[in-house]
């Protein structure tokens, strides 16, 4: 299996191959500094969402060249909303008949190695990667993206490819993002970014893959229009009742748990092996780096609902509360802010 792992952090090393065409495109796009600095990390507003130069080319390659199969499954998420968890869960449910229970691949590979990002990994250095080879181990193909719904390759939208989306209340998402970028800034020796500065950027939607609300609403509306194609999950619901959510996910994926499996505790087993507590202890998640240069360990922190109350000031909470209403009222989408 090609796991695409780097041996050292390259979070902000110079970008080698932003070719002329992309350079020209970049010059036409609004530009701002996001939460992480460094060469290639400035953000550009592309199709309504902020994206770093480094990952714009692979995103365009994915958009342009990818041909979906009806059998494909895609995990789509907004960053820091439960990507790592959903990758582990979807992989474990979808492929449970393809590996022995006592040698679960999650014991040897990270969730991000097992379910690879298209725009940060598969298409990173090659506009036309050999997908037959990359997806040769397990069937059907399973991959991931942070791209907004509107920017997905046409064949994903037009085929029967299934999409599982997860989101999370924006207060916890922001706190998770702030902690995550703090660690990255340490590694790139950037001075720390104050919570105030980060909040200001978050509020304006200026961070990689932002703005949050537009991303979430894009998938929310699409899932309402086509619930058989897009399953819309919330981090807080998984925390509250993982068994029901896993059964629901398995049905959606077309591989419902049999009565026998349920009787033998397969649902609980999957919930357990994919839990934050278990994954944190797996050796492969404690060392090494993702292909983006991010240490594997940085994808695992507290995983709590309501952690925002330990960080946000009353004025931040008030502003965010207002923004949530402004953006989500009339959409039918709501978030639980505490457990
Ligand atoms: P990504 O989008 O950059 O891949 P993502 O996995 O969505 O990151 O976000 C990491 C968050 O999910 C962290 O949340 P926290 O900062 O609030 O703690 C991380 O702890 C949490 N997380 C990672 N794995 C799991 C898991 N197995 N169960 C629950 N939460 C998890």
Rounded to an integer, the average pLDDT of 6-24 is: 57
What is the chain's mean pLDDT, rounded? 92
pLDDT at residue 18 is higher than 80: no
CA-based nearest residue to 48, from 149, 167, 145: 149
For residue 22, the surrounding DSSP H or E stretch is: helix 20-28
Residues 125-146 have pLDDT tens digits of 999 999 999 999 999 999 999 9
Nearest CA to ligand 1 atom 11: 80
Ligand 1 centroid vs 166 CA: distance in angstroms?
11
Supply the DSSP symbol for 295: B
Tell me how far the alpha carbon of residue 156 lies from the centroid of ligand 1, in angstroms: 26
The CATH code of domain 57-328 reads: 3.40.50.300
Q: For residue 176, give the ligand 1 atom closest to its CA.
A: 16
- Label residue 7 by pLDDT band (50, 70, 90): very low
Residue-wise pLDDT for 38-59, tens only, equals 666 889 999 999 999 889 999 9
Global model pTM greater than 0.85: yes
CB atoms within 10 A of CB 148: 21
- Any ligand 1 atom below 6 A from CB of 120: no
Question: Which residue's CA is the nearest one to ligand 1's atom 10?
Answer: 80
Please state the rounded mean pLDDT for residues 63-85: 97
Pocket test for ligand 1, best of 300, 309, 312 (most atoms within 8 A of CB): 300
pLDDT (tens digit per residue) in 223-273: 999 999 999 999 999 999 999 999 999 999 999 999 999 999 999 999 999
> Which atom belonging to ligand 1 lies closest to the Cα atom of 79?
2
146 an active-site residue?
yes
The domains of the chain are located at 57-328
Q: 33-37, 127-131, 136-140, 275-279: lowest mean pLDDT where?
A: 33-37
């Amino acid at each position: 299996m090609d796991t695409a792992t780097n041996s050292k952090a390259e979070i902000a090393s110079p970008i080698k191959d932003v070719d002329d065409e992309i350079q020209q495109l970049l010059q036409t796009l609004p530009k701002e500094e996001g939460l992480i600095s460094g060469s290639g990390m400035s953000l550009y507003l592309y199709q309504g969402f902020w994206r770093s130069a480094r990952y714009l080319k692979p995103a365009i390659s994915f958009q342009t060249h990818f041909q979906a199969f009806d059998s494909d499954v895609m995990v789509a998420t907004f960053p820091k909303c439960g990507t790592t968890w959903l990758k582990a869960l979807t992989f474990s449910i979808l492929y449970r008949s393809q590996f022995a229970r006592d040698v679960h691949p999650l014991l040897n590979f990270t969730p991000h190695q097992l379910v690879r990002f298209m725009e940060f990994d598969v298409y990173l250095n090659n506009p036309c990667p050999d997908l037959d080879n990359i997806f040769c181990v397990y069937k059907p193909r399973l991959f991931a993206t942070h791209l907004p719904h509107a920017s997905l390759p046409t064949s994903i939208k037009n085929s029967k490819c299934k999409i599982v989306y997860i989101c999370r209340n924006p207060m916890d998402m922001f706190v998770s993002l702030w902690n995550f970028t703090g660690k990255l800034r340490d590694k790139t020796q950037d001075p720390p970014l104050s919570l105030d500065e980060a909040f200001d950027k978050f509020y304006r939607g200026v961070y990689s893959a932002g703005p949050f609300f537009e991303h979430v609403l894009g998938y929310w509306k699409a899932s309402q229009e086509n619930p058989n194609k897009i399953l819309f999950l919330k981090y807080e619901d998984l925390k509250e009742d993982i068994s029901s959510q896993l059964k629901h996910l398995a049905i959606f994926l077309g591989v419902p748990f049999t009565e026998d499996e349920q009787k033998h505790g397969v649902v609980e087993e999957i919930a357990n092996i994919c839990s934050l507590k278990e994954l944190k202890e797996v050796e492969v998640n404690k060392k090494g780096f993702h292909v983006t240069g991010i240490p594997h360990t940085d994808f695992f922190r507290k995983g709590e609902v309501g952690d925002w109350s330990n960080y946000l000031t009353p004025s931040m909470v008030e502003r965010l509360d207002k923004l949530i209403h402004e953006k989500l009222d009339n959409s039918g989408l709501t978030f639980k802010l505490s457990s």
